[in-house]
A = this chain, B = another copy of it.
Amino acid sequence: MKKSKYLISKSPSELKKSEVMDSITIDCCIFSFEKGEFKVLLVQHGEGIRKGEWGLPGGWIEYDEHIDDAANRLLENLTGLKDIYLEQVKAFGDPNRFPLGRVITIGYYALINSENFDIKAGFTASEAKWVKVNEMQNLIYDHNEIFEASLKHLQEKVKRAPTGFNLLPDKFTLLQLMELYQQILDIEVDKSNFRRKFLKMKLLKENGDKQEGVSHRAAKLYSFDESTYHQLTKKGFNFEF
């Protein structure tokens, strides 16, 4: 599928079944947390009437493809990564959201661990960029609305399930985790209280490793203990701070 999402060359009803769905698309907020900064990936539109403007990456859905699979395919094409954490936000259906015809879009968000990610896998530097979540610019179409809804959805999710781990490397320090929560939720938390609360949950396991090459006391490294999470998942967690 080489066609740009935003270039409609024929009217939707001329498209054949064997191609893609003609009036519905996917748009995706890809979040990352790199060097303590919470960011989203934007792409520059290379074709169509809004050429050069920035928006969220998106694409069409193939006729016999699950919408979740379409989002995963899009993500893999863009980043080269498989098995990314992905969640649907909702459908956006203002009839005027897209100027060239009636197109409903389904918003998704993805959480990637930018450690093993190379933006050039999908794009050259001029076509994609990371921007800080709290410094979002004006985006094409209704993409600011999609971004806001995705962020809100992630904030709610992160408060009741240990979702944030998907943004961190396998091993991380407690203060990295704390910084992550602070930035996603846009709050300040007390270090001591954060430690106590998180450690009490038994979701983290130590393996004796410590930070290396830092010019201060080396912090213990933790990893997320999925097994105890699944045991406790029924009860309903509360990650509020």
B94 near A106: Cβ-Cβ < 8 Å: no
Within 8 A of B (CB), among A144-159: 156
A90 near B91: Cβ-Cβ < 8 Å: yes
Q: How many residues of A contact B (CB 8 A)?
A: 34
Chain B minimum-CB-distance residue to A92: B67
* A12 to B106 CA separation, bound complex (whole angstroms): 20
Copies of chain A in the complex: 2
A68 near B95: Cβ-Cβ < 8 Å: no
A102 near B13: Cβ-Cβ < 8 Å: no
- Per-residue CB contact flags for chain A residues 100-112 toward chain B (1 = under 8 Å, else 0) read 0010101000000
* A156 to B22 CA separation, bound complex (whole angstroms): 34
- Per-residue CB contact flags for chain A residues 24-61 toward chain B (1 = under 8 Å, else 0) read 10000000000000000000000000000000000001
- Per-residue CB contact flags for chain A residues 1-17 toward chain B (1 = under 8 Å, else 0) read 00000000001111111
CB neighbours (8 Å) of A104 from chain B are 21, 24, 61, 67, 106
Within 8 A of B (CB), among A114-168: 156, 160
Q: Is A80 an interface residue (CB 8 A)?
A: no
Chain A residues within 8 Å of B, Cβ to Cβ:
11-17, 21-24, 61, 63-68, 70, 88-91, 93-95, 102, 104, 106, 156, 160, 236, 238, 240
Chain B minimum-CB-distance residue to A63: B102
A66 near B90: Cβ-Cβ < 8 Å: no
Between-chain CB contacts (< 8 Å), 22 pairs: A11-B17, A13-B13, A13-B14, A13-B15, A13-B17, A13-B22, A21-B23, A23-B24, A24-B24, A61-B104, A63-B102, A64-B95, A65-B95, A66-B93, A68-B93, A70-B93, A89-B90, A90-B91, A91-B91, A91-B106, A104-B106, A156-B160
* A14 to B12 CA separation, bound complex (whole angstroms): 11
